[in-house]
Structures are given as structure tokens and as C-alpha cells.
């Protein structure tokens, strides 16, 4: 039913050129930037820093941030971010816990800095072109070491008596290692007298979260999930601990103990099951019901068709049956597609230098024809209204897929390469990661992240010596 | 009428309004007055570390509007413990609240804190079942269930039977398959599993495959068992051939069988048959993943073919 609603907005004729409606997306995001978000976002009030990041970064990726705001507004936004900086390092996720002058030792447990919010605040400062000189960098890194538990996992906030609160899943390991990468690259060991996090322990934590089917889960023995898989792979990339030829050649423990299996799991996420209505009776023998049968359509429908395309080559387009013109990504085995998983999966594969193993044109068409919304932004599923989260991750996926008119994108940092280059150019950071003034050429070379692969397959074993952004630390 | 400012029970409190940091706040939300007011009172009582019955009411009110508020839950827990409140009543309140906010993280953390303190899993399994009835693949519920099994040593308290019941209902429920793996292999007190268990699990996965050959969950489970037991993929050759063979392209019943056969042939260094299986997948039985299957074909050219 939902699919039909969407089809009335976007007539689906195979062969029609699918388009990213730039101006509508810009309008959507500018409305989010310049006017109040509707009260329905109240349940996300505690995630304001991430909502802010989606808005600012989306406009940056669309190339509209600089032109769309005045210098005064830019300064005002930067000041708001610093307003959320926590007196003891890190950032609050929203201003609502700030007691102002009433803050004291007895009540500070209710007003902590927040790990994901700190990551997003720092990224936003980079996007705005700020120099991060007002960031309490030393305090932030010291606080970060206190966020790690003995088992290697990270928490979200520090509560009473220094207790680490929040889940122990890799979302916090991802954003924690992201903070570390922003403030000190992937240099291991103490920097300026501030000790490092326990990198080996965190990598170990990720390794035991790998599942029997090759994905990565929230914690040991939990179910493989594309979101956690992205977080784990990105964390490993921030730490230079991926099992890739581009990672430093040393004997440190790496994450992803079985890369081929993880790639299998990631490739398995692409699906033509976009809607509950797509449920399909595979066997026609009563063992399946429409309620239980998901992700069977590619096989069941297509095996009924005679093979049309006999010349499908490795470099060419996949067989183009009508049913596979639009395929999204699910987040777990036997679930239906959802816009956000398009990002978690493509982001993971881009970081692993294996993006071409999926069907990118079909994913692009799914995003543009099925979940892109008339007013701009993306919905979660066909026919759904847009929301900030799905709209940002939909747009980010389009950038990863090299959509013309969008800025090139860094998957682990989840923002434009322009913003990343700005971060890397900051003199205090260059000092820490050991880049001297004469190393300009190397920075430029390493800055060209090869997310934008040509159409031909660029697989791991031929990924050559191009240095990914992760290897800056060696510089 | 304002809920707090007009209530004599709150007249001693000076509400603390939110400082949104200047003229250009980001992601500013059009709060309803009800929320703004409640939050101003929350800040005021938190700043004083007040622990009282009215605080419990206020936190409940905030949670109904913003369940993701990460410190309101911690504050509430401390308040409950300080007042020696009835924790069973707290769980009774949490049950419908969890059902209302199925995707919320904090609520589960809070539940763990309370159940930990109660030191009893009474009623929890029933509650989990009702949650799974509402959403049989809810990630938080399954994660919580694992915590509960470990914490209260429920390994042999009907977990395997419960999973079987759920798989009977929906053999494609991958969360249930994963939980099965946890129940069989997740008990750290056990040192590995014996061959009988391994065989039982293989048979179970195979039976599910006979029922739904195109269901990836039991295939993944079966292949996970092989890797666990460090057995070669060829152990399953005869089984896979029941569902597909590169020689009989018109009688393929499962793309996952072809996938497995491709690995088996690669293991046997039978490049030609492996290529045939991968070609069938790319061109006919799983064209969504044509690029992936072709990539797998390219790996056959490498000296050490991938598993």
C-alpha cells in the first residue's frame, strides 16, 4: 500500500532518468536550519547535537552551507556549539541539562558530557571551518580515557562516582575513536602528556562482537546488524586496525577476523523487499505465509523469468530484470529495506574499499524513486514523510555513490572530504600527527580518499598503495 | 492552567529556564509549553538533588514526552533507591512504557538497573514474551533477554524450547536463530559443546532448510556451525546438492545452496564448477548481487582462493 502511495508521486517507468531533486533537498534542510523543528522532535530533544549535525552537514554536502548563511549566522551557530561545551571537557548533547551558575559537585552527575554529541559537535565545527581553538582539547581527551571500561568498550556519559553510564555497544566506541582521531589522529600512546585509550582492548571488544554469519553486533552473541557493523568498521579505520593492505604494516591486532565473510554479509543486505506488501509465498506449499516470508522475491520471482542477459560481466551492469531495478538495503537478515541501512552498508563497504560489490545503480534508483520525498529529504520507507535522520543518511548514501552535484564524502567521518581536509590542515593537529610544513604534497595525496571508485572493480588485492586517510598518523 | 507553576505542591521551587545559547541555536525545537515548563522544574530539582515522591512524578512526566533523556532515567533510579521505593511497582510502570517506546535504549538500561537491585527475574520472561509478540525482532528485547539469561543463569530454564516455539511461528526470524546460537554456545561456564549437540543443531538447521530452502537464516546458522567445528565446507556437499547443482540450472531450489557449492568447488580447486555456480547466481538466481558473485569469480583467479 505504501509503495502505491509513493508511485503516485513518482511514476515508475523503467528507463526513466531518476533524479536527485537538489533544490527541494536544499529547501528542506534550510527550513530545518532556519526555523524551529516541529514539536514532534521533542522526543529527540536529547539528541539535538546529532540533529544539528545532520542539518549542517547536509547543507555542506549539498554545497549550500556557505552561500546560504551570513557570516553573522555562521558565528552564531559556532557559538551555539561552544555553548554546549562541557566545563570538564567534551560536549553536552543538548543545552537542557545545563544548570548554569547552580552547577556544583553535588549535581554535576545530572549534567554530563556525552560521547556521540562530542563527536558530532567537533565534526560540525570542522564543517563550519572553525579552528577548534576554543575546544578544551586536553580536557576532552582526558575525559575520553575515563569513558572506556576495563573490557575495552566505551560508555555514553559519566555519572555519579565516575560510573560509566549508557550501553556498552560499539556506537560509543565509534564516536569515541572518532573524537580521538579528530583531536590526535591515529597516533598511539600518550600525546602531550595525555594518555591514550586502550586501543587493543577496544579492538578485542569488536572482534568478539563478530557473529557467526559475518556481521557485527551490539555485543558478544547479539544479532548482526548493519548499524553496529558500520560503527565497528569505522572505529577500526580511525584506529588503523582494519585488515586491509592500506593499513600500516605491523603486528598489531586487527578487527574483522574474516573479511570475506563480512563482505558476504554486507552484500547480502541488498534486497528487493521494500515493503511489507512485498512478502511473497516462495514455495506455494503452505510452509510460508505472507507474514513470515521476506527477502525471497529475488529468487522466487526471477527464477520464473528466462535469463535475458547472457553477457553480464564483472565490470558491467548486473542483469536488469524489472524487479531488481530498485533495490534497497536491510539492516539484518530477513528484514525489509530501510533508507538508513543504505548508508550503514555503503559506508561500511566504502571504508573497506569494496563498494563495487553491490548494485549501486539499483540502490540509487531505490533512494531516488522510492524513498526520496516530494518536499525534499528522504523517508524511512516508500511513502513515508521525510525526517532528519533518514534524510541525512539517504543524502550521505547518494554522496557515497558519487551523485553529481554533491560533495565527495568520507564514510567513517560521515561528512564531506572538504571538512575533513580542513581538519587535517589545522596547525595544532598537524603538529600532533607529525606532519611538517614540507609535507604538503603528502597531505594532498592522502586526502584524496578513494571512495569515488571508478565503475570497474577495485578490490582489496589490487587496491594498490594509495594511502587512505587513515594512514596520516604514519606521516 | 500550568501543571507546576499553579500547583501549591511545587510553589517552593523556582523553575530554571533553558539557556539556549544566543540568537542562533541549532536544531531548536518548537517545544510545547508543557515540556518547557516540566524541564524547567526538572533542572531546578536536579540542581538541588531533591529526592522525593514529587520528583518521581515529574520524571515520569518528562519520560512520557522525551524518553531518550539520558540523565532523567539515572536521576529517577537514584531517587527510587534513596526513597526505598517499591521496585516491583516500578517494573509494573515500565512494562507499558516499554511497549509504548519500542525503539528506546534508555528504558532497557533502567530496567536492568532495577532488576539487578531486585535480584529476581520473576515475571521477566513473561514480559519479554509479550514484548516479542508486539515486535518479534526487537533488538533491545533480544539483547535484554541475553542479559537476563546470563545474569540469572536461565540457560536451562526453557530458553531453547522458547526459541523453537518462535521459529515454529516464523522460521525466517533471524533474531530467534541468533538467540538459538547464544543459548547453545553462549554459556561461558561450559567448555565448548559436544558432538551430539553439534549434530542436533545441524539437523535442526537442515530441517528448517527443507521447509524453506530460500531462507538465508538457517543456511547462515548451518555454515556457522561448520566454522565453529572447523569442518570443511565439503561436509555439506551432498546436502547442498539436494537443492541445486550447476549441472541442472532448471532445478535450482535455493540460491544459498549454489553459494555454498561455489565455496565447496573452490575448496576442491574445481574452478570450472565454482564458476558455473557463481554464473548461475549472477545471471539467474540472484542478479541483485551480480557484482558480488562476479567478484567472487575474480577471487578464483587468485592463488589462494577465498573460503
A219-228, A250-259, B27-36: lowest mean pLDDT where?
A250-259
For residue A434, what pLDDT is reported?
87
Instruction: Kindly report, residue by residue over A160-217, the tens digit of the pLDDT.
Output: 999 999 988 999 999 999 999 999 999 999 999 999 999 999 999 999 999 999 999 9
Kindly list the residues from chain A whose CB atom is less than 8 angstroms away from the CB atom of residue B290.
Answer: 312, 318-319, 359
Instruction: Quote the cell numbers at residue A57.
Output: 552537514
Kindly list the residues from chain B whose CB atom is less than 8 angstroms away from the CB atom of residue A43.
Answer: 65-68
Kindly list the residues from chain B whose CB atom is less than 8 angstroms away from the CB atom of residue A102.
Answer: 16, 47
Instruction: Quote the cell numbers at residue B139.
Output: 533488538
| Shortest CA gap A10–chain B (Å) | 22
Out of B65, B186, B254, name the one closest to residue A43 (CB): B65
Residue A151 CA: distances (Å) to CA of A115, A154, A256: 18, 9, 18
User: Which residues, numbered 44 to 63 in chain B, qualify as contacts with chain A under a Cβ-Cβ cut-off of 8 Å?
Assistant: 46-49
For residue A247, what pLDDT is reported?
80
Task: Give the list of residues 6+ apart from residue A157 with CB closer than 8 angstroms, or none.
Answer: A112, A113, A114, A115, A164, A165, A166, B70, B71
B224 inside 8 A of chain A by CB: yes
Which phi and psi (to 5°) does residue A379 adopt?
-95, 175
For residue A375, what pLDDT is reported?
95
Out of B28, B170, B298, name the one closest to residue A292 (CB): B170
Instruction: Kindly report, residue by residue over B132-190, the tens digit of the pLDDT.
Output: 999 999 999 999 999 999 999 999 999 999 999 999 999 999 999 999 999 999 998 88
Q: Which residue of A has its CA nearest to B279?
A: A312
pTM: 0.90
B290 inside 8 A of chain A by CB: yes
CB distance B220–A42 less than 8 Å? no
Rg of chain A over Cα atoms, rounded to whole angstroms, equals 22
Instruction: Kindly report, residue by residue over B191-202, the tens digit of the pLDDT.
Output: 778 889 999 999
CB distance A267–B227 less than 8 Å? no
Q: What mean pLDDT is predicted for residues A323-340? A: 93
Instruction: Quote the cell numbers at residue A342.
Output: 543504505
CB distance B139–A218 less than 8 Å? yes
The pLDDT mean for chain B works out to: 95
Closest Cα partner for A124 from A389, A427, A422? A422
A398-402, A457-461, B97-101, B215-219: lowest mean pLDDT where?
A457-461
B142 inside 8 A of chain A by CB: yes
Out of A73, A312, A457, name the one closest to residue B295 (CB): A457
For residue A475, what pLDDT is reported?
23
Collapse the DSSP code of A474 into the 3-class scheme (helix H, G, I; strand E, B; otherwise coil) and give the result: helix
Instruction: Kindly report, residue by residue over A125-161, the tens digit of the pLDDT.
Output: 999 999 999 999 999 999 999 999 999 999 999 999 9
Please determine, for residue A330, whether its predicted confidence score (pLDDT) is greater than 90. Answer: yes
Asked if A223 and B221 touch (Cβ cutoff 8 Å), the reply is no
Instruction: Give one DSSP letter per residue of chain B, joined into a string.
Output: --TTTT-GGGTT---------SS--SS-B---HHHHHHHHHHHHHHHTT--SHHHHHHHHHHHHH-TT-HHHHHHHHHHHHHTT--HHHHHHHHHHHHHH-TT-SHHHHHHHHHHHHHT--TTHHHHHHHHHHH-TT-HHHHHHHHHHHHHTT-TTTTHHHHHHHHHHH-TT-HHHHHHHHHHHH--TTS-S--HHHHHHHHHHHHHHHHH-TT-HHHHHHHHHHHHHTT--GGGGHHHHHTT--TT-GGG---HHHHHHHHHHHHHTT-HHHHHHHHHHIIIII-GGGHHHHHHHHHHTTSSS---
Domains and CATH numbers, chain A: 2-462 (1.50.10.20)
Please determine, for residue A100, whether its predicted confidence score (pLDDT) is greater than 90. Answer: yes
Q: How far apart are the first and last CA of chain B?
A: 69
Q: What mean pLDDT is predicted for residues B241-260? A: 96
CB distance B178–A222 less than 8 Å? yes
Please determine, for residue A233, whether its predicted confidence score (pLDDT) is greater than 80. Answer: yes
B168 inside 8 A of chain A by CB: no
For residue A244, what pLDDT is reported?
87
Q: Which residue of A has its CA nearest to B186?
A: A221
Residue to mutate among A109, A309, A321, A333, with most B CBs inside 10 A, is: A333
The pLDDT mean for chain A works out to: 84
Determine the Cα–Cα distance for residues A347 and A351; give it in Å rounded to an integer: 6
Rg of chain B over Cα atoms, rounded to whole angstroms, equals 27
Please determine, for residue A393, whether its predicted confidence score (pLDDT) is greater than 50. Answer: yes
For residue A323, what pLDDT is reported?
63
What ipTM score was computed for the predicted complex, to two decimals?
Answer: 0.96
Under the banding of pLDDT at 50, 70 and 90, the label for residue A109 is very high
Q: Which residue of B has its CA nearest to A210?
A: B224
Instruction: Kindly report, residue by residue over A46-87, the tens digit of the pLDDT.
Output: 999 999 999 999 999 999 999 999 999 999 999 999 999 999
Out of A32, A224, A318, name the one closest to residue B287 (CB): A318
| Shortest CA gap B248–chain A (Å) | 13
| Shortest CA gap A222–chain B (Å) | 6
Task: Give the list of residues 6+ apart from residue B36 with CB closer than 8 angstroms, or none.
Answer: B17, B18
Residue corresponding to grid cell 536529547: A46
Kindly list the residues from chain B whose CB atom is less than 8 angstroms away from the CB atom of residue A290.
Answer: none
Q: Which residue of B has its CA nearest to A109?
A: B71
CB distance B47–A302 less than 8 Å? no
Going by the DSSP 8-state scheme, the letter that residue A17 receives in this structure is P
B64 inside 8 A of chain A by CB: no
Q: What mean pLDDT is predicted for residues B232-255? A: 96
Instruction: Kindly report, residue by residue over A257-289, the tens digit of the pLDDT.
Output: 999 999 999 999 999 998 865 544 333 333 333
Residue corresponding to grid cell 565503475: A455
What residues of B are annotated to the active site? 103
Kindly list the residues from chain A whose CB atom is less than 8 angstroms away from the CB atom of residue B24.
Answer: 73, 75-77, 79-80
Kindly list the residues from chain B whose CB atom is less than 8 angstroms away from the CB atom of residue A270.
Answer: 288-289
| Shortest CA gap B6–chain A (Å) | 22
Instruction: Kindly report, residue by residue over A213-228, the tens digit of the pLDDT.
Output: 999 999 999 999 999 9
| Shortest CA gap B93–chain A (Å) | 19
Determine the Cα–Cα distance for residues A224 and A450; give it in Å rounded to an integer: 27
Kindly list the residues from chain B whose CB atom is less than 8 angstroms away from the CB atom of residue A327.
Answer: 288
Task: Give the list of residues 6+ apart from residue A307 with CB closer than 8 angstroms, or none.
Answer: A319, B283, B284
Q: Which residue of B has its CA nearest to A315?
A: B291
Instruction: Kindly report, residue by residue over B67-99, the tens digit of the pLDDT.
Output: 999 999 999 999 999 999 999 999 999 999 999
For residue A302, what pLDDT is reported?
41
For residue A452, what pLDDT is reported?
34
Residue to mutate among A31, A45, A294, with most B CBs inside 10 A, is: A45
For residue A335, what pLDDT is reported?
96
For residue A168, what pLDDT is reported?
85
Q: Which residue of B has its CA nearest to A168?
A: B109
Q: What mean pLDDT is predicted for residues A78-107? A: 97
Kindly list the residues from chain A whose CB atom is less than 8 angstroms away from the CB atom of residue B25.
Answer: 80, 95
**Range A148-152, long-range pairs (CB < 8 A, 24+ positions):** A148/A176, A148/A197, A148/A198, A148/A201, A148/A202, A150/A201, A151/A201, A151/A205, A152/A198, A152/A200, A152/A201, A152/A202, A152/A203, A152/A204, A152/A205
- Stated as kind and residue range, the H or E segment containing A157 is strand A157-158
Q: Which residue of A has its CA nearest to B106?
A: A166
Q: Which residue of A has its CA nearest to B258?
A: A299
Out of B39, B143, B254, name the one closest to residue A218 (CB): B143
Q: What mean pLDDT is predicted for residues A8-29? A: 74
Kindly list the residues from chain B whose CB atom is less than 8 angstroms away from the CB atom of residue A210.
Answer: none
For residue A321, what pLDDT is reported?
54
> How many C-beta atoms lie closer than 10 Å to residue B84's C-beta?
7
Out of B26, B29, B170, name the one closest to residue A56 (CB): B26
CB distance A300–B214 less than 8 Å? yes
Determine the Cα–Cα distance for residues A38 and B32; give it in Å rounded to an integer: 10
Closest Cα partner for A68 from A41, A36, A126, A28? A28
Q: What mean pLDDT is predicted for residues A382-408? A: 97
Asked if A446 and A467 touch (Cβ cutoff 8 Å), the reply is yes
Instruction: Kindly report, residue by residue over A418-475, the tens digit of the pLDDT.
Output: 999 999 999 999 999 987 555 554 444 444 334 333 344 443 333 333 323 322 222 2
Return the number of CB contacts < 8 Å for A and B. Answer: 289
Alpha helix (H) residue ranges in A239-275: 259-267
Closest Cα partner for A338 from A243, A263, A270? A270
Amino acid at each position: 500500500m505504501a509503495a502505491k502511495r509513493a508511485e503516485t508521486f513518482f511514476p515508475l517507468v523503467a528507463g526513466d532518468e531518476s533524479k536527485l531533486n537538489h533544490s527541494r533537498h536544499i529547501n528542506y534542510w534550510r527550513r530545518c536550519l532556519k526555523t524551529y523543528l516541529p514539536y514532534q522532535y521533542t522526543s529527540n530533544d536529547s539528541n539535538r547535537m546529532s540533529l544539528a549535525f545532520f542539518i549542517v552537514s547536509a547543507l555542506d554536502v549539498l554545497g549550500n552551507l556557505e552561500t546560504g548563511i551570513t557570516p553573522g549566522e555562521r558565528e552564531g551557530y559556532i557559538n551555539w556549539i561552544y555553548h554546549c561545551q562541557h566545563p570538564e571537557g567534551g560536549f553536552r548533547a543538548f543545552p537542557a541539562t545545563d544548570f548554569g551558575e547552580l552547577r556544583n559537585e553535588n549535581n554535576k552527575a545530572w549534567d554530563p558530557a556525552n560521547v556521540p554529541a562530542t563527536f558530532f559537535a567537533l565534526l560540525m565545527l570542522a564543517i563550519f571551518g572553525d579552528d577548534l581553538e576554543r575546544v578544551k582539547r586536553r580536557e576532552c581527551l582526558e575525559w575520553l580515557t575515563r569513558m572506556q571500561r576495563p573490557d575495552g568498550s566505551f560508555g555514553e556519559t559519566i555519572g555519579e562516582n565516575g560510573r560509566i553510564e549508557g550501553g556498552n555497544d560499539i556506537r560509543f566506541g565509534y564516536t569515541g575513536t572518532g573524537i580521538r582521531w579528530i583531536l590526535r589522529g591515529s597516533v598511539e600512546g600518550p600525546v602531550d602528556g595525555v594518555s591514550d585509550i586502550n586501543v587493543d582492548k577496544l579492538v578485542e571488544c569488536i572482534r568478539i562482537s563478530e557473529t557467526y554469519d559475518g556481521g557485527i553486533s551490539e555485543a558478544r552473541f547479539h544479532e548482526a546488524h548493519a548499524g553496529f557493523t558500520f560503527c565497528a568498521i569505522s572505529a577500526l579505520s580511525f584506529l588503523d586496525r582494519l585488515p586491509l593492505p592500506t593499513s600500516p604494516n605491523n603486528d598489531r591486532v586487527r578487527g574483522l577476523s574474516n573479511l570475506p565473510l563480512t563482505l558476504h554479509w554486507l552484500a547480502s543486505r541488498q534486497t528487493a523487499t521494500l515493503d511489507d506488501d512485498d512478502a511473497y509465498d516462495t514455495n506455494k506449499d503452505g510452509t510460508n505465509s505472507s507474514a513470515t516470508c521476506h527477502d525471497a522475491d529475488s529468487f522466487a520471482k526471477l527464477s520464473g523469468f528466462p535469463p535475458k542477459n547472457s553477457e553480464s560481466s564483472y565490470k558491467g551492469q548486473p542483469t536488469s530484470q524489472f524487479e531488481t531495478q530498485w533495490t534497497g538495503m536491510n539492516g539484518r537478515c530477513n528484514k525489509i529495506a530501510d533508507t538508513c541501512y543504505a548508508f550503514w552498508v555503503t559506508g561500511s563497504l566504502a571504508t573497506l574499499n569494496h563498494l563495487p560489490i553491490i548494485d549501486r545503480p539499483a540502490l540509487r534508483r531505490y533512494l531516488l524513486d522510492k524513498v526520496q520525498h516530494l518536499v525534499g529529504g528522504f523517508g524511512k520507507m516508500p511513502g513515508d514523510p521525510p525526517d532528519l535522520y533518514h534524510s541525512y543518511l539517504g543524502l550521505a548514501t547518494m554522496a557515497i555513490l558519487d551523485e553529481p552535484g554533491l560533495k565527495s564524502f568520507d564514510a567513517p567521518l560521515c561528512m564531506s572530504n572538504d571538512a575533513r581536509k580542513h581538519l587535517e590542515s589545522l596547525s595544532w593537529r598537524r603538529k600532533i600527527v607529525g606532519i611538517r610544513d614540507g609535507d604538503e604534497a603528502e597531505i594532498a595525496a592522502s586526502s584524496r580518499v578513494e571512495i569515488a571508485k571508478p565503475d570497474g572493480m577495485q578490490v582489496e588485492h589490487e587496491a594498490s598503495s594509495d594511502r587512505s586517510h587513515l594512514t596520516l598518523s604514519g606521516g | 492552567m500550568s501543571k507546576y507553576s499553579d500547583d501549591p505542591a511545587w510553589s517552593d521551587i523556582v523553575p530554571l529556564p533553558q539557556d539556549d545559547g544566543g540568537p542562533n541555536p541549532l536544531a531548536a525545537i518548537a517545544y510545547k509549553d508543557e515540556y518547557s515548563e516540566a524541564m524547567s522544574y526538572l533542572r531546578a530539582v536536579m540542581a538541588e538533588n531533591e529526592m522525593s515522591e514529587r520528583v518521581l512524578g515529574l520524571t515520569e512526566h518528562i519520560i512520557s514526552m522525551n524518553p531518550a533523556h539520558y540523565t532523567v532515567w539515572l536521576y529517577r533510579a537514584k531517587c527510587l533507591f534513596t526513597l526505598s521505593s517499591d521496585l516491583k511497582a516500578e517494573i509494573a510502570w515500565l512494562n507499558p512504557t516499554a511497549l509504548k517506546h519500542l525503539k528506546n535504549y534508555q528504558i532497557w538500561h533502567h530496567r536492568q538497573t532495577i532488576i539487578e537491585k531486585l535480584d529476581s527475574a520473576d515475571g521477566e520472561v513473561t514480559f519479554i514474551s509479550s514484548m516479542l509478540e508486539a515486535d518479534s525482532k526487537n533488538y533491545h528485547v533480544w539483547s535484554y533477554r541475553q542479559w537476563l539469561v546470563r545474569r540469572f543463569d536461565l540457560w536451562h530454564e526453557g530458553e531453547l524450547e522458547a526459541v523453537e516455539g518462535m521459529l515454529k511461528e516464523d522460521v525466517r526470524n533471524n533474531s530467534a536463530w541468533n538467540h538459538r546460537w547464544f543459548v547453545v554456545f553462549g554459556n561461558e561456564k561450559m567448555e565448548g559443546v559436544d558432538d551430539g549437540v553439534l549434530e542436533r543443531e545441524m539437523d535442526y538447521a537442515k530441517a528448517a532448510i527443507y521447509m524453506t530452502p530460500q531462507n538465508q537464516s538457517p543456511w547462515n546458522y548451518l555454515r556457522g556451525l561448520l566454522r565453529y567445528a572447523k569442518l570443511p565446507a565439503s561436509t555439506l556437499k551432498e546436502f547442498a546438492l539436494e537443492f541445486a547443482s550447476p549441472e541442472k540450472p532448471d532445478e535450482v531450489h535455493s540460491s544459498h545452496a549454489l553459494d555454498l557449492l561455489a565455496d565447496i568447488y573452490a575448496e576442491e580447486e574445481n574452478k570450472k564448477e565454482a564458476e558455473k555456480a557463481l554464473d548461475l547466481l549472477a545471471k539467474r538466481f540472484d542478479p541483485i548481487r551480480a557484482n558480488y558473485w562476479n567478484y567472487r569469480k575474480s577471487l578464483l583467479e587468485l592463488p589462494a582462493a577465498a573460503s
